[in-house]
Amino acid sequence: MTYHEFCFSFTNEYYELKSLYSNMSKINTGIKFKSSSGDITKGIKWIWASNKCTLNYFKRFFQSINLKEKLRSIFNSEFILRGASFIILEQSKVKDSEFHYDTFSRYDTEDTNILTIIFPLFKIDEKMGNLEFKNGLETDIYEYYPNKLVIWDSNKFLHRTQPYECDKPKKRVLVSVNLSTNEDWAVKTINNTLKHQGSELWVC
């Protein structure tokens, strides 16, 4: 399986999301994050929205760009936002990054029930890695753009951070969100995966 793209406008809710990231250490009115380290790409960090108040910033942005309708037109299903994070990479070099699926379930079918959606919060330095993925027997590169979401089936899209080398450390900030249908196995699968990755928020 490959991916889907969705171009979006920079709405007021988009700028609120950027402000949430830029000011997260200063905000104390019900906002809660939890940081965890990734184990697939060395040095990568997740900053998880850890309560519904924080998750609502992501939800309002997606509502402002009519994401629900877009997903319904692609997959003919209703998807619920289960988790959201900022993924931060601030390394001068990524040498080893494993190809992986975001989730796995023996109950998975040909239909899509679990989604990963990612986009860069700021323009990424051209020397930093993008998204490397398997397309059949071929390996391709998806280039991140600030005004484009990339959407894939979490159970079927084999991918990794593209290895790269810069002359000095540079920061890459991605917004990553996880959604599923209300299929019982899909909800359990995504919640268990997010818990393993450090999220404390369970959306039922």
Q: What is the 3-state secondary structure (H, E, C) of 106-161?
A: CCCCCCCCEEEEEEECCCCCCCCCCEEEEECCEEEEECCCCCEEEEEECCCCCEEE
pTM: 0.94
End-to-end CA separation in angstroms for the chain: 27
DSSP summary character for residue 77: S
pLDDT in tens, the chain (204 residues): 689 999 999 999 999 999 999 988 776 678 999 998 877 787 889 999 999 999 999 999 999 999 999 999 999 999 999 999 999 999 888 888 899 999 999 999 999 999 999 999 999 988 898 999 998 889 999 999 999 999 999 999 999 999 999 888 889 999 999 999 999 999 999 999 999 888 878 765
Q: How far apart are alpha carbons 163 and 132 in whole angstroms?
A: 9
pLDDT value for 126: 86
At the top level of CATH, the class of 4-197 is: mainly beta
The pLDDT of residue 204: 59
Contact yes or no for 9/66 (Cβ under 8 A): no
Domain residues of the chain, as ranges?
Answer: 4-197
Q: How many CA atoms lie within 13 A of 98 on its CB side?
A: 7
Q: What is the pLDDT of residue 192?
A: 93
The two three-digit tokens of residue 56, written as one number:
């609502």
Query: Which DSSP string do the residues of 4-32 spell out, in sequence order?
Result: EEEE----HHHHHHHHHHHTTTT--SS--
